């Protein structure tokens, strides 16, 4: 799980390093083409291929569109317009958003503590959004808004997964949703791909793409799946609180970004909210 946190925390910087010579949507199209092929090969070797239940076809298509196509469009374009620090801090609010959304939809009972957790996480997000003061460019606001939209997409995707839980393995879900989400990303990225000056793409950009594909997407998913199996989903989810810490450290060292006092306060509120909202999930074995 610590490797997962390391891979995910470094992904924000790795992606931004590629953007100067490899446009965000071209980057994403290539990344998902490669990742889809790799995950399908791995799924074929790690699991015995079973016929897909016809009743799962449309749910998997919808989940692929929401959890991969829309999520990635918002995430990668948001990341290109805002800082790696802002992005990582906003994204870590996902577990609390998912928990409360599940309560609103009647999938779970939401406690008063979890409502307080959402309030803390929301206050933290507001602090992060205002960390650079009132004189923000349009790109800053657009980037942060896109990252918030990606949180909504991932929450919807996660809740959708709960409805098909037990009918298909986690690895198969990932393989199928990558397959159903990838075409939309290739279509969205096609204009950018056509404009790429391949000879001008730097070694740093290719390294960022390789990191984002092989480590952040493929390897991290396989490690995450194994971590969830061994620790349980609850304890595994708590590790995600460390992701913005790693992301911030990498962004400071590599990109020269500097967190403000508002970033630190907002990050503390968000992480505190996530820990509070998931406190009931950590049992005596923790």
Q: pLDDT per residue over 240-276, tens digit each?
A: 777 888 888 888 889 888 777 777 787 787 777 767 7
Residue 20 confidence (pLDDT):
93
Residue with tokens 């809740």: 159
168 φ, ψ (degrees, to nearest 5):
-160, 145
**Mean pLDDT estimate for the chain:** 81
Nearby residues of 285 by Cβ (< 8 Å), 6 or more positions away: 235
Q: Is the pLDDT of residue 146 over 60?
A: yes
pLDDT in tens, 212-243: 999 998 888 778 767 766 765 556 666 777 78
Interval 155-161 mean pLDDT: 81
Identify the bridge partners of residue 168 per DSSP, sorted by sequence position: 165
Q: Is the pLDDT of residue 12 over 80?
A: yes
Nearest to 78 by CA among 144, 24, 125, 8: 144
Structural tokens at position 114: 């979890």
Q: Is the pLDDT of residue 285 over 50?
A: no
**CA 234, chain centre distance (Å):** 17
Query: With contact defined as beta carbons under 8 Å apart, do 40 and 180 qualify?
Result: no
Q: Residue 64 and residue 164: Cα distance in Å, rounded?
A: 13
Query: With contact defined as beta carbons under 8 Å apart, do 220 and 7 qualify?
Result: yes
pLDDT in tens, 189-200: 999 999 999 999
Residue with tokens 């990341």: 79
Q: Is the pLDDT of residue 42 over 50?
A: yes
Q: Is the pLDDT of residue 51 over 80?
A: no
Residue 270 confidence (pLDDT):
74
Q: Residue 212 and residue 192: Cα distance in Å, rounded?
A: 18
What is the SS3 assignment for 14? helix
Structural tokens at position 70: 């829309």
């Amino acid at each position: 799980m610590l490797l997962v946190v390391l891979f995910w925390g470094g992904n924000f910087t790795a992606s931004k390093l590629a953007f100067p010579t490899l446009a965000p949507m071209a980057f994403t199209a290539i990344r998902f083409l490669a990742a889809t092929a790799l995950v399908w090969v791995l799924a074929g070797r790690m699991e015995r291929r079973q016929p897909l239940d016809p009743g799962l076809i449309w749910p998997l298509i919808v989940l692929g569109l929401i959890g991969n196509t829309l999520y990635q469009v918002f995430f990668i374009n948001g990341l290109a317009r805002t800082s790696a620090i802002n992005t990582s801090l906003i994204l870590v609010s996902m577990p609390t958003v998912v928990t409360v959304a599940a309560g609103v939809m009647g999938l779970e009972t939401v406690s008063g503590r979890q409502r307080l957790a959402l309030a803390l996480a929301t206050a933290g997000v507001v602090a992060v959004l205002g960390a650079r003061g009132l004189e923000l460019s349009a790109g800053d606001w657009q980037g942060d808004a896109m990252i918030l939209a990606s949180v909504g997409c991932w929450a919807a995707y996660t809740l959708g997964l709960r409805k098909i839980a037990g009918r298909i393995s986690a690895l198969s879900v990932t393989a199928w949703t990558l397959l159903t989400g990838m075409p939309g990303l290739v279509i969205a990225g096609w204009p950018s791909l056509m404009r790429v000056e391949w000879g001008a793409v730097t070694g740093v950009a290719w390294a960022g793409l390789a990191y984002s594909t092989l480590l952040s997407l493929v390897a991290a998913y396989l490690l995450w799946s194994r971590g969830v199996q061994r620790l349980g989903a609850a304890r595994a989810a708590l590790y995600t609180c460390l992701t913005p810490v790693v992301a911030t450290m990498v962004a400071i060292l590599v990109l020269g970004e500097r967190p403000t006092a508002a970033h630190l306060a907002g990050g503390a509120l968000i992480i505190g909210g996530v820990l509070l909202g998931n406190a009931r999930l950590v049992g005596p074995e923790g």
